[in-house]
Structure 1
Amino acid sequence: MTKCWTKAEVIHSRGGVNMLLTDEEKQMLNGDMGPAVKKAMEILVALGESFRAEKMQPIKNVHMAGSSVLVTEEAGTMFVEEMQRQGGKFVTNVTTNPTAIDPSQWREIGIDESDYELQNRLTGAYAKLGANTCNTCIPYLAGNMPRFGEHMAWGESSAVVFANSVCGARTNREGGPSALAAALTGRTPKYGFHLKENRYGKFLVKVETPLNDMTDYGTLGYFTGKIAGQDTPVFFGIPDNPTLEELKALSAALASSGAVSMFHAVGITPEAATLDEAFGGRLPEKVLVFGDKEKSAAEAALNKEPSDHVDWVLVGCPNASVQEIREVAEALQDKKVAPNVSLWVTTASSMYAMADRVGYVRVIEQAGGTVVRETCPFLARSRVIAPKKGYKTLTTNSAKMAYYAPGQFGLPTHYGNLKRVMQAAINGVWR
C-alpha cells in the first residue's frame, strides 16, 4: 500500500485547516477498516485539527489513562465495550493505568461492589481489545520502557513527564478517548512534544539547596509546577546521581501543581547535556532560585493539617517500586502500625510479585500495613472510602498526593519524607 502523502478531504474541519493523510489513513477515515477504526480516526483528525497538526505520526506504543471507572463511569465503559463489539483491535503495544479496585482485597479496603463489577467490565473490554492490563501508573517499570526518540501516545501525567524527560521519548498528554483511538489506528496527531522545536526549555530553575530524598524532589516539582503552567523547566544544580524513584517523584509533582509535560535537568536528562542544548540556543525567559527558603515554604504549603492526628498513611504515589516497598518493610521490621492507622503501600502487580518473593510484603502485612495493587486513592472513590473507614487526614511522602488530597478527597494532609511518615504510621501521631 502506498505511503505517499496526499491532501485529504477530512471531516470535522475546523478553522479551514486540512490535515495531510496517507492513503491508508484516508481508508481508515472512510470506514474501509471497520466502524471502530473509522470512529477512532475521526477522533484523531478532530484533535489534530484543533491543534493545527499537519499530519499523523505513526506509533507503536500507547499507555491508556482511561482505565479506571472513576474516570470513565458507565458511559465511557460502554464506549470501550462498543469499540470491541465493532471489531476493534489494538495495533500497538498498550498498557493500562491503575483501576478503581484492588482485584483481591477491594471489599476490605472499602471499595463498593458496584465499582468492582463495572471495573471488571472495563478491564475485560481492554483485555479483549488487546491491552496488557498491568494497571499501573509506572508502565516503564512494568514492561513498557520507552526508548529514546520513540513517538508514543501516553496518558497519565506523571508517566508522560517521565517518558519525555528521563527517557527522551516523544508524547503529548493523551486523554482516554485519544489514547484509545491511537491504539486502534497506530497513529497520533503530530503536534506538541512530537516536534523538536517544542521540546526546548522555557525557564531556568537554579537548585541551591540539597535534595536528599524522593520527598525533596517532589517538593522541587511542586514549587516549579505552580510557576511553570505548561512551560518546560530546566533544572541546574540537581545532584548528578538521582535515583529512578527521585526522578519519578519530580515528574509527578511537576504534572500536579502545574500542567508540565517535560523537564530538562542539565547533565542528567538525555536532551540536556548542557544549558545551551536544553534551551535550544536561546536564553531562558526567566530564572528562578530554589533554595532553603523556597523549599521550606513549599513544604509548609503541602502540610494542610494543623493537628497531629494520623489515620490514613499512603506510600506509593506514583506506584511504589520494589525499592520503595523495601524501604517501607525495613522501617516496619519488628514493629507494628498503630491500631488507629491504616497504612497503604500502592503498587503494580508486577512490583508486588517481586516484593512478595523476597519477603517485603510479608513484613508489611505482619506489621499491620496493606500492600494495595492496581489502584490508588486518586483512581478509587476516596470520597466514599474515607468516610466509610472514618479517615480524617492523609499522611504521605508524595507531593502529588499532598497537593491533590485536600481538594479531591476532602482530606487535609501531613507531608514529609518517608522516615517521618513511617514514624507517624507506627506512633499514630504526626511529629
Structure 2
Amino acid sequence: MLLTEEETQMLNGNKGPAVKKAMEILVALGESFGAARLVPVNNVHMAGSSVLVAEEAGTRFVEDIRKQGGTFVTRVTTNPTAVDPTQWKDIGIPESDAVLQTRLTDAYADMGANTCNTCIPYLTGNSPRFGEHMAWGESSAVVYANSVCGARTNREGGPSGLASALTGRTPEYGFHLKENRYGKFLIKVEVPLSDMTDYGTLGYFAGKIAGQDTPVFTGIPTTPTLEELKALSAALAASGAVSMFHAVGVTPEAPTLEEAFGGGEPEKVLVFGQAEKEQAEAALNKEPTDHVDWILVGCPNASVQEIREVAEALEGKTVHKDITLWVTTAGAMYAMAERMGYIKTIEDAGGVVVRETCPFLARSRVIAPAKGYRTLTTNSAKMAFYAPGQFGLPTHYGNLQRVMNAAVAGVWR
C-alpha cells in the first residue's frame, strides 16, 4: 500500500509502540484486501467492547495498548458490554464477567472512548454524515450507517477498530469505494409493511438470499420510521453478511432504481409477497408449544419510542409471575425514558429495563439455565434467528402487541 510520510512514521514507531502496532494491523488488513491506501477517519464504533467477545486475552491486549501510551485520536463509541452496571447480579450475570468487564471498559475510557455501550450509537450522539469514511463494528449499526445515513464503512472487528481509533486511518477497500456500493439484486416488496417486525421479517428473508451482496428494495413505504429501518438493518446482517441495502426513494444513494444499480441491471429479481412473509415468519418461530418464560424487546437496543410502546402496552397490567421480561437499551435512552415515566411503568408491571448489555453480549448460555429459561420470545428477527443456535433457546417471534400479550397471559397465542 502507498503510505503518506506521516503514516510511514507511525509504522516505523516514531509515534510510540501502540500506534506502531495499530499501523501494522491496518497495513496487514489493507494488503490482504488489496487496498491501495489508507483513508482518514474520525469516527469509530468499537465492536470488541464485551468481555464475552474479548475474554481475558482481549482485555489484556486493550490494557497493554493503554499502558503503552495508546490514546484515541478519533471519536470512539463502544458496543454493548456483558454487564448491566446496576443490576448484573439480579439478572443472572456472573460476577467474574462483571469484574473483567470493568477492566475492559475502564481501559477504553482511559484512552478516550465514549463508553455509551450500545449497538445504536447513532441515537446516542454518534450520528454518521453522508459520505463520511468510518471504521464501525456491530453488524446492524454498519448496515444502518451505510444504508440510511450514506456513510462509508466496512464491518470492522475489535482489533481493526482499535487500530483505527489509535491512528485515525482505515484501509480503503470494500464499502469505502463507490463502485462496491451499488446493488446486486432486486427485491420487489408486494405486501404491506406495518411495523418493526414486518421490516425485520423482510430483512431475514433478504439476508438469507443476499449473502454478502447488496439488495435493492422497491415497494417499501417512503416514510419508514427509524425503528423500522433499524430492524431491517439488523435482520439483513443476521441472516446474511449484508453491509448495505438500498430502498428506492428512501435511502440517500437510491433516489431511483437506476442509481441504486449504478446504471446496471440486477443479477436477479425476487418478490416478497404474503406467501414469502408467512414462510419467513414460520421459519423464525422455532418453539412448537405455547410455553413462554424469557421475553426480550430491544434488539438492536430499544429507542425511547420503543420503550414508550412497551410501557403503553403494560399500563395498568402485570407481567405474568412465570415470565421474565427484558427491555434492553442504552444508558442514554434509559435516562430519557426514565424522565418520561416509561421505566417506572414497565418496572411497576414487573418488567426489567436492562442497560448496556443484551443476551448476545452477556453470557446467556449461563443465564438461561441458571434462571430456568427454556424459550425466548421476541419481536426481533435478529434475536429470533440467533437465539436457537447461540443460546440453545427455541423462539417465539411476532409483533410487539403479540409479545406483550404473551408477557401478561404467560402463554404464546
Q: Same fold (TM over 0.5)?
A: yes
Aligned residue number for residue 367 of structure 2 = 385
Give the deviation of 1:152 after TM superposition: 0.1
Q: Does 1:370 align with 2:340?
A: no
Aligned residue number for residue 30 of structure 2 = 48
Q: Does 1:425 align with 2:411?
A: no
Aligned residue number for residue 254 of structure 2 = 272
Aligned residue number for residue 156 of structure 1 = 138
Q: Deviations along 1:311-342, whole A, 9 cap, x unmatched? A: 00000000000000000000000000000000
Superposition pairs of residues 189-228 of structure 1, within 5 angstroms: 189-228=171-210
Aligned residue number for residue 268 of structure 2 = 286
Determine helix, strand or coil for the equivalent of 2:3.
Answer: strand
Aligned residue number for residue 177 of structure 1 = 159
Aligned residue number for residue 115 of structure 1 = 97
How far apart in 2 are the matches of 1:127 and 1:101? 16
In structure 1, stretches of 5+ residues that fail to align are 1-18
Of 217, 229, 239, which residue of structure 2 is paired with 1:247?
229
How far apart in 2 are the matches of 1:187 and 1:168? 19
How far apart in 2 are the matches of 1:334 and 1:418? 17
Q: Does 1:80 align with 2:62?
A: yes
Q: Deviations along 1:71-128, whole A, 9 cap, x unmatched? A: 0000000000000000010000000000000000000000000000000000000000
Q: Deviations along 1:186-235, whole A, 9 cap, x unmatched? A: 00000000000000000000000010000000000000000000000000
Give the deviation of 1:240 after TM superposition: 1.0
Give the deviation of 1:414 after TM superposition: 0.0
Q: Does 1:29 align with 2:29?
A: no
How far apart in 2 are the matches of 1:372 and 1:227? 33
How far apart in 1 are the matches of 2:221 and 2:375? 33
Give the deviation of 1:271 after TM superposition: 0.2
> Which amino acid is 2:331 matched to?
S
Determine helix, strand or coil for the equivalent of 1:20.
Answer: coil
Aligned residue number for residue 323 of structure 2 = 341
Q: Does 1:143 align with 2:89?
A: no
- Relative to the length of structure 1, the TM-score reads 0.96
Q: Does 1:304 align with 2:286?
A: yes
How far apart in 1 are the matches of 2:30 and 2:55? 26
> Which amino acid is 2:360 matched to?
F
How far apart in 2 are the matches of 1:283 and 1:159? 28
Q: Deviations along 1:276-320, whole A, 9 cap, x unmatched? A: 000000000000100000000000000000000000000000000
In structure 2, stretches of 5+ residues that fail to align are none
Determine helix, strand or coil for the equivalent of 1:21.
Answer: coil
> Which amino acid is 2:204 matched to?
Y
Once the two structures are aligned, what percentage of the paired residues are identical?
81
Q: Does 1:231 align with 2:213?
A: yes
Give the deviation of 1:261 after TM superposition: 0.1
Aligned residue number for residue 105 of structure 1 = 87
> Which amino acid is 1:145 matched to?
S
Determine helix, strand or coil for the equivalent of 1:161.
Answer: helix
Cα RMSD of the aligned pairs, angstroms, is 0.2
> Which amino acid is 2:198 matched to?
D
> Which amino acid is 2:2 matched to?
L
Q: How many residues align?
A: 413
Aligned residue number for residue 6 of structure 1 = none
How far apart in 2 are the matches of 1:135 and 1:364? 22
Of 107, 121, 131, which residue of structure 2 is paired with 1:125?
107
Q: Deviations along 1:227-265, whole A, 9 cap, x unmatched? A: 000000000000111000000000000000000000000
How far apart in 2 are the matches of 1:190 and 1:27? 19
How far apart in 1 are the matches of 2:110 and 2:338? 29
How far apart in 2 are the matches of 1:161 and 1:426? 34
How far apart in 1 are the matches of 2:283 and 2:175? 31
How far apart in 2 are the matches of 1:82 and 1:384? 29
